Amino acid sequence: MSFMDQAVAARRAAQELATLDRATKDRALHAMADALAAAEAELIAANEADVARAREAGTEESIVDRLKLTPARVAAMVQGLRDLAALPDPVGDVVRGWRLPNGVSVRQVRVPLGVLGIIYEARPNVTADAAGIALKSGNAALLRGSSSALESNRVTVRALRKGLEAAGVTPDAVHLVEGGREVTTEMMTARGYIDVLIPRGGAGLINAVVNGSTVPVIETGTGNCHVFVDAGADQSKALDILLNAKTQRPSVCNAAETLLVHRDIADEFLPRAFEALRGAGVTVHGGDDVRRFSDEVVPATPDEFDGEYLSLDLAAKVVDSIDEAIDHIRAHTTGHSETIVTESRDSIARFTAEIDAAAVLVNASSRFVDGGEFGFGAEIGISTQKLHSRGPMGLPEMTSTKYIIEGSGQTRA
């Protein structure tokens, strides 16, 4: 099927999905889970072929690891679909409602977005996750996975579609979009066919989609997250939070990348911090302001304060004041998650008001900025844009609304 054939089929499917009741969708999710579980051996064999191809092509082991499916990972994909069935259905929720002075009633009701386009990188589990989230929120999904995961994605989508059919739901709810780069361009310009594009992956992918799309995009993910240890910080809290935000899972977007320390406590805090970080295998990068505390601090280039390491590396800097910390974060933030550690009410008030990011944290690890931790139960990504949805996106974020207006013949004067 060509991409445009898939897009037309998805658009038609979306009309059907929009009016499905929750029970039908939940039955379909369990049927998708059953079909995926039944395809486990086939999926693992297909994935072995993908992994072998990636290794032949000289792919880094860290990426091969993301690509790789084990029985445990397949079981997690299956369970993810079942967990979605247990979540509330956002479609049909009345967001608000009121009566006009003339008696006309107005209700704003959640409806699906329509057709979601998801463009993502190596991890084949995203295929099942995204398809399930789309279905539960009443949307059709056009899934554009990485070519490196093609065999795995084909088996997964075939199984999901089989499950949909078994539940009496149109299999055109889910499509795997195949083909060369020109197909990505077709997706990005498929206005009227795709209602929203969500890129999931590295900064390169996200920027390419943001800049090339005429379809509305929800930007996800890059996080140059700062931890500012204020003069008024409880230093043991600061150490715990810094270590957790940096090392609990360094490869993700809500991990800390830059440490800012107020000059008034730098002499005391930085030696402790550097020792603890060294113990956790973290390499600190910085300028003379921090290198004087440790020989092991690697000189940092200025652009290291702009990017994500996504590894056991951390940029560090001493600031003279909360003003300088705020200015630094404003200049370098990607708008994801920014943390202050302080006991000062004034500093908390200023930092939470003046820092503009999806999440601003006070005395807590930025690793909490996550759909699962928030209790959303499912997450399609973390939005770092301000339009539509900001922060972790669960099922309600995959909906739009419509106004249903009922009268008894009223006209406007």
Residues that bind a second copy (CB under 8 A): 15, 18-19, 98, 100, 104, 106, 108, 111, 113-114, 191, 195-196, 210-211, 214, 216-218, 234, 236-237, 240-241, 243-245, 248, 330, 348, 352-354, 356-365, 367-369, 373-375, 385-388, 390-391, 400-412
* Closest approach of a second copy to the CB of residue 211, in Å: 5
From CA 324, how far away is CA 308, in angstroms rounded?
A: 21
- 248-275 burial, b if ≥16 CB within 10 A, otherwise e? eebebbbbbbbbbbbeebbeebbeebbe
Which is closer to a second copy, CB of 18 or CB of 38? 18
| The pair of three-digit structure tokens given for residue 22, joined into one six-digit string | 């929750």
The C-alpha angle with vertex 13 and arms to 9 and 17, in degrees rounded to 5, equals 165
Which is closer to a second copy, CB of 160 or CB of 398? 398
Which is closer to a second copy, CB of 205 or CB of 360? 360
From CA 351, how far away is CA 383, in angstroms rounded?
A: 21
Which is closer to a second copy, CB of 63 or CB of 310? 310
Which is closer to a second copy, CB of 122 or CB of 217? 217
Burial of 316 (0-12, 13-18, 19+ CB in 10 A): buried
114: left (phi over 0), alpha (psi -120 to 50) or beta: left
DSSP H or E segment with residue 44: helix 40-56
* Closest approach of a second copy to the CB of residue 373, in Å: 7
DSSP state of 280: T
DSSP state of 313: E
* Closest approach of a second copy to the CB of residue 63, in Å: 25
DSSP state of 297: P
Cβ atoms of residues 230 and 344 within 8 Å:
yes
Residue whose token pair is 């920014």: 338
* Closest approach of a second copy to the CB of residue 216, in Å: 4
* Closest approach of a second copy to the CB of residue 40, in Å: 30
* Closest approach of a second copy to the CB of residue 195, in Å: 5
Which is closer to a second copy, CB of 175 or CB of 367? 367
Which is closer to a second copy, CB of 162 or CB of 246? 246
Q: What one-letter code names the amino acid at 24?
A: T
* Closest approach of a second copy to the CB of residue 389, in Å: 8
